[in-house]
């Protein structure tokens, strides 16, 4: 991303290609779901694929790639940090896991 | 060029055109935006980041509920629920594409084309909402409620499912209304291409959230 690239937004043909890519990822997610993968592997795979989808949507559909780089660096790392803190430092997260009841 | 823009541009311009004295010091004190985006777009980005944190919190809570429930149920089957979810995903992704068409047309000054694309986006948004509500009504008929599980097991599934998909559906419906308002305003000349673009940002965000909701709430709860 450079300042020179700002506002050089691609045309509809490019967006259709991204759209096809996103649909293909969704199809792959459904395919993986019915491959009887272990739960952790499936969860990790689906989250990674969703993150790729989100990245494509953010950078191309939402034109973040064509804005000044500092907009990306101000917003996205901050959001990821907040989500990370929410997931890992949430007060009750680990206590709840330890309180889990045995399977009946 | 407005007086304010001239004042921000250079002192020479001010001197040459005799801008009102009271505007000059204030305008010169203003810094250019470090992001080079309009205030509307910046406000929308900040809203999107805050809203992403909200959805993130909801999905983390869902994850914690699921981890701590030994009798979690996975009620969805490929047909009809997952197929319906795939159709909904297709509709929402396509609506993002039509929204992009509207933004491109608006920036090119093609009003009629922009309105057609916006109309298609509204239609696809309504189709998504109808498919979603049809699925909800089907589940409710089966006995699912936010705190009721007709299959036995954890009642938390209904709470997580209805709250997260409900929050997303609320965003979709709000987006459809917002796009309709923008379309009418754009047609009447009250709104510009930048307004269409900012509304498009919101719509793409709604699509982005669904990219996490569908695999986490539908696919991981199917058998």
Contacts of residue B87, defined as CB under 8 A and 6 or more positions apart, other chains included, come to B131
Q: Which residues in B lie closer than 8 A to residue A102 (C-beta atoms)? A: 70
Nearest to B70 among A6, A23, A101 (CB): A101
- Coil, helix or strand for A77? helix
Which chain B residue has its CA at the smallest distance from A98's CA? B68
Tokens encoding B151: 């299959």
Q: What is the pLDDT of residue B6?
A: 42
Q: Is B19 on the interface with A (CB under 8 A)?
A: no
Q: Give CA–CA dist A18/A56, Å, rounded.
A: 7
DSSP letters spanning B151-211? TSS-THHHHHHHHHHHHHHHHHHHHHHHHHHHHHHHHHTSS-HHHHHHHHHHHHHHHHHHH
In SS3 terms, B119-140 reads as HHHHHHHHHHHHHHHHHHHHHH
> Does domain B39-221 correspond to CATH entry 3.40.109.10?
no
Asked if B67 lies within 8 A of A97 by C-beta distance, the reply is yes
For residues B175 and B99, is the Cβ–Cβ distance under 8 A?
no
Contacts of residue B24, defined as CB under 8 A and 6 or more positions apart, other chains included, come to B7, B14
pLDDT digits (tens, 9 = 90+) for B86-105: 999 999 999 999 999 999 99
Q: Which residues in B lie closer than 8 A to residue A58 (C-beta atoms)? A: 208
Which ranges constitute the DSSP H helices of A57-101?
69-88, 93-98
Give percent helix, percent strand, percent coil of chain A, each to the nearest 5. 75, 0, 25
Q: Give CA–CA dist A27/A74, Å, rounded.
A: 33
For residues B109, B114, B115, B117, the Cα torsion angle rounded to the nearest 10 degrees is 170
Res. B193: pLDDT tops 70: yes
Nearest to B70 among A26, A90, A104 (CB): A104
Domain boundaries, chain B: 1-32, 39-221
pLDDT digits (tens, 9 = 90+) for B118-133: 999 999 999 999 999 9
Q: Which of B114, B119, B84 is nearest to B101 (CA)?
A: B114
Q: Which of B97, B91, B136, B137 is nearest to B118 (CA)?
A: B97
Nearest to A46 among B34, B52, B215 (CB): B215
Res. B168: pLDDT tops 60: yes
Q: What is the pLDDT of residue B66?
A: 87
Residue B42: count other Cβ atoms within 10 Å of its Cβ. 16
Q: What is the pLDDT of residue A86?
A: 84
Tokens encoding B46: 């900040």
Q: Which residues in A lie closer than 8 A to residue B175 (C-beta atoms)? A: none
pLDDT digits (tens, 9 = 90+) for A68-96: 999 999 999 999 999 988 877 765 666 66
Q: Give CA–CA dist B174/B155, Å, rounded.
A: 29
pLDDT digits (tens, 9 = 90+) for B1-37: 444 444 444 434 444 444 444 445 555 667 777 888 8
Q: Is B108 on the interface with A (CB under 8 A)?
A: no
Confidence of residue B154 (pLDDT cuts 50, 70, 90): confident
Where do we find the tokens 């709860």? B221
Q: What is the mean pLDDT of chain B?
A: 88
Domain boundaries, chain A: 3-98
Nearest to A29 among B53, B101, B219 (CB): B219
Which chain B residue has its CA at the smallest distance from A77's CA? B49
Q: Where is B62: in which H helix or E strand?
A: helix B39-68
Confidence of residue A8 (pLDDT cuts 50, 70, 90): confident
Where do we find the tokens 């060029």? B1
Query: Distance from A35 to chain B by nearest Cα, in Å?
Result: 11
């Amino acid at each position: 991303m450079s300042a020179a690239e700002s506002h050089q937004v691609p045309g509809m043909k490019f967006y259709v290609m991204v759209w096809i890519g996103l649909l293909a990822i969704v199809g792959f997610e459904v395919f993986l779901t019915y491959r009887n993968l272990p739960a952790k592997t499936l969860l990790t795979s689906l989250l990674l694929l969703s993150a790729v989808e989100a990245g494509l949507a953010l950078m191309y559909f939402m034109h973040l790639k064509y804005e000044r780089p500092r907009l990306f660096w101000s917003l996205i790392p901050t959001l990821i940090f907040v989500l990370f803190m929410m997931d890992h430092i949430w007060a009750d997260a680990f206590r709840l896991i330890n309180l889990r009841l045995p399977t009946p | 060029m407005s007086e304010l823009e001239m004042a921000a541009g250079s002192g020479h311009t001010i001197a040459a055109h005799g801008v009102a004295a009271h505007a000059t010091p204030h305008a010169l004190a203003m810094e250019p935006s470090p992001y080079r985006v309009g205030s509307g777009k910046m406000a929308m980005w900040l809203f999107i980041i805050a809203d992403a944190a909200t959805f993130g919190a909801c999905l983390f809570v869902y994850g914690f509920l699921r981890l701590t429930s030994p009798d979690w149920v996975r009620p969805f089957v490929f047909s009809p629920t997952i197929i319906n979810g795939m159709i909904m995903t297709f509709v929402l992704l396509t609506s993002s594409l039509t929204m992009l068409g509207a933004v491109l047309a608006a920036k090119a000054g093609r009003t009629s084309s922009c309105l057609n694309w916006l109309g298609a986006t509204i239609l696809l948004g309504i189709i998504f909402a109808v498919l979603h509500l049809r699925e909800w009504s089907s589940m409710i008929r089966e006995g699912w409620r936010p705190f009721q599980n007709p299959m036995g097991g954890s009642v938390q599934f209904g709470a997580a499912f209805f709250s997260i998909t409900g929050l997303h559906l609320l965003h979709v419906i709000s987006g459809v209304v917002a796009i309709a308002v923008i379309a009418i305003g754009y047609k009447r000349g009250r709104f510009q291409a930048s307004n269409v673009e900012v509304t498009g940002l919101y719509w793409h965000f709604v699509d982005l959230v669904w990219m996490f909701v569908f695999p986490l709430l539908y696919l991981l709860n199917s058998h």
